[in-house]
Structure 1
Amino acid sequence: MSPTTDVRALALAAVSAAAFGLSGPFAKALLDAGWSPSAAVLARVGGAAAVLAPLVVRQWRRRRPSAANARIVLAYGLTAVAGTQFAYFSAVQTLSVGVALLLEYLAPVLLVGLAWARTRSAPPTGTLIGTVLSMVGLVLVLDLGGGVSVDPVGVAWGLAAAVCLSAYFVLSARVDDGLPAVVLAGGGLAVGTVTLAVLGVAGIVPLEASTGPVELLGASVSWLVPVVVLVGVSTVAAYLTGITATARLGSRVASFVGLTEVLFAVLAAWWLLGELPVPIQLLGGVGIVAGVALVHRDTDDRHDPASEPVPVTTA
């Protein structure tokens, strides 16, 4: 890989992280305007699925995935797409964007605990240190003894998003070369769209939307603005740039750069919504990001990056 290609790939990875990081603030603007979390997710994944559909169909015709990979796409759509985003959007109803995203990014720590329980073998020192850092960071982010009110229901939704994101990593580890990343992403978005639509029609989840104006940057704008950004920028562009960057960088570097999504989300929430965590929460955020970075590094060190699946950020 040439230095020029590496720099371009790093830039693409950063663009992807920034695009994903915008989803929380724009989604919260819709929620504050009367949208239900499920309706906001449906608008996002449904629009993105429609945009990516031609690419998915073309890839599918070139090489039809095996039955096993088709099941992975189905499970991915139910958990990584519908589950993660619904839980995350539900969390930002009562939590700040930064806190909700930091809770979601505890997923690698949950995977460490699962692997430890299954193998009964202690993880490497770096992973243990990363786990401790993340848990300490979580306590600081919640600021249980401080003046910031943290809704326990929002925390539960944030942790549910972490569980669903963990399921994504487990599913990704089973993907082989017969399942292109665009098929996994686009197919998963389609499955998530159908799932949410069925649940909404059945009355299991509320699909409440409003055509009234939303508040961004202290001004009233059309509801189409956040929807278009969520679909075009935070989903389609984010997935495609992330897939391209990961193919060039490998999973280790790309997943580390992907952690900057947390920082982009906090900055975007500050810029668009006027939200900024208190200093103790910012310190906790640094702890979580540092801990997750250590967990990712140790995980990638135990595998050949070239043999790993292309990771796709889900928030």
Structure 2
Amino acid sequence: MQLAPTSAGLTAAAVSVVSFGTSGAFVKPLLAAGWSPAAAVAARVLVAGLALLPFTLHALRGRWDVLWRGRWRVLGMGLVAVAFTQLAYFAALTRIPVATALLIEYLAPLLLVGATWAATRRRPGATVLAGSALAVGGLVLVIGPGAVQAVDPLGLLFAFAAAIGCAAYFVIAARPADGLAPTALAGTGLLLAAVLLLLAGALDLLPFTAHFGEVTVLGQAAPWWAPLLVVAIIGTAIAYATGIAASNLLGARLASFVGLLEVVSASIFAWLLLGEELTLLQLAGGALILGGIAAVRAERPAAPAPEPVVCLA
């Protein structure tokens, strides 16, 4: 039995959210062992792109014209959605707390609502506005109320740039596929992003340090490549491929709101795998985010509102 597009999209989004949520628990051992954040991200993106390469080639089946027609989506995914977003986020972390940077980056759904409002000159429905308020309130509770504070203005600017990159990810993923499968878009975009990140490291634009000895994973000694493979395959390759598929089926706005559950998923995995505290406040925040997603999904506009257009030319 074939799932309806919305049901299939929500299923893909759920897989993406859970996959992305595993990242923190398996990147943390690398960072604790001496890996710099930029080196860890470059490695995970490169390994993920290589892991998807056979699936990318199978999806293309030698139809390189499909890749050429979708070149702006590939460039946008690799340069903007992955590399630019990661670079902006890490730049923000050098100046502001992690919680504040996360809170600002995950305001991407509100940017999409505002962009659609500006593009169509039509105010979003009451359900979308209510859903936005619920989702942001839930996000604050999950990340922590302490994230809302006055901090370095340049750090805030970098975090806002990461939010724009995050919003661009959903918009690019939701564009008409024109024969370019989600796995092919994810695989080529990740490889392109890896090249850019490694180049940034080679030019000393980012601190690149790595430790190739044993690391501690879930209380046990393990080779450095073990957590890297987990975060690259599950937390990156599968996460991006299913996330792109979800955006293509759900549209950028709804997919971005569902994506907010990544912070809930990450908190749950940190609790299960790392023993970090999971508070009732965070669970309440997760419930508010779910309420916000339900409200956004419930909107039935009179005519389909076009997604905001991102010019990649």
Measured against the shorter chain, the TM-score band is 0.7 to 0.9
Q: Give the corresponding residue for 1:116.
A: 117
Equivalent position SS for 1:175:
coil
Which residue identity lines up with residue 55 of structure 1 in the other structure?
Answer: F
Which residue identity lines up with residue 125 of structure 2 in the other structure?
Answer: P
In 2, Cα distance between equivalents of 1:299 and 1:223: 49
Pairing of 1:246-265 with structure 2 (within 5 A): 250-251=249-250, 255=255, 260-265=261-266
Pairing of 1:250-289 with structure 2 (within 5 A): 250-251=249-250, 255=255, 260-289=261-290
Pairing of 1:4-153 with structure 2 (within 5 A): 14-58=14-58, 59=60, 61-65=62-66, 67=68, 69-86=70-87, 95=98, 104-141=105-142, 143-144=144-145, 152=151
Which residue identity lines up with residue 222 of structure 2 in the other structure?
Answer: V
Structure 1's 36 and 223: CA in aligned 2 closer, same or farther, altered over 3 A?
Answer: same
CA RMSD after TM alignment? 4.0
Deviation per residue, 1:8-35 (Å, 9 max, x gap):
9977664443222101221232222221
- Deviation at residue 37 of structure 1 after TM alignment: 1.6
CA contact (8 A) 1:69 1:175 kept: no
Structure 1's 160 and 295: CA in aligned 2 closer, same or farther, altered over 3 A?
Answer: farther
CA contact (8 A) 1:56 1:182 kept: yes
- Deviation at residue 124 of structure 1 after TM alignment: 0.9
Equivalent position SS for 1:177:
coil
- Deviation at residue 162 of structure 1 after TM alignment: 2.8
Structure 1's 225 and 72: CA in aligned 2 closer, same or farther, altered over 3 A?
Answer: same
Q: Which runs of 5+ in 1 are unaligned?
A: 309-315
In 2, Cα distance between equivalents of 1:187 and 1:173: 16
Relative to the length of structure 1, the TM-score reads 0.75
- Deviation at residue 115 of structure 1 after TM alignment: 2.0
Q: Give the corresponding residue for 1:206.
A: 207
Q: Give the corresponding residue for 2:197.
A: 196
Pairing of 1:179-190 with structure 2 (within 5 A): 179-190=180-191
Deviation per residue, 1:50-76 (Å, 9 max, x gap):
122233234062252365520221111
Structure 1's 121 and 15: CA in aligned 2 closer, same or farther, altered over 3 A?
Answer: closer
Aligned-pair identity (%): 43
Task: Give the length in aligned residue pairs.
Answer: 299
CA contact (8 A) 2:131 2:294 kept: yes
Q: Give the corresponding residue for 1:174.
A: 175
- Deviation at residue 233 of structure 1 after TM alignment: 1.9
In 2, Cα distance between equivalents of 1:236 and 1:138: 25
- Deviation at residue 222 of structure 1 after TM alignment: 2.6
Q: Give the corresponding residue for 1:313.
A: none
- Deviation at residue 190 of structure 1 after TM alignment: 1.2
Q: Which runs of 5+ in 2 are unaligned?
A: 308-313
- Deviation at residue 186 of structure 1 after TM alignment: 0.9
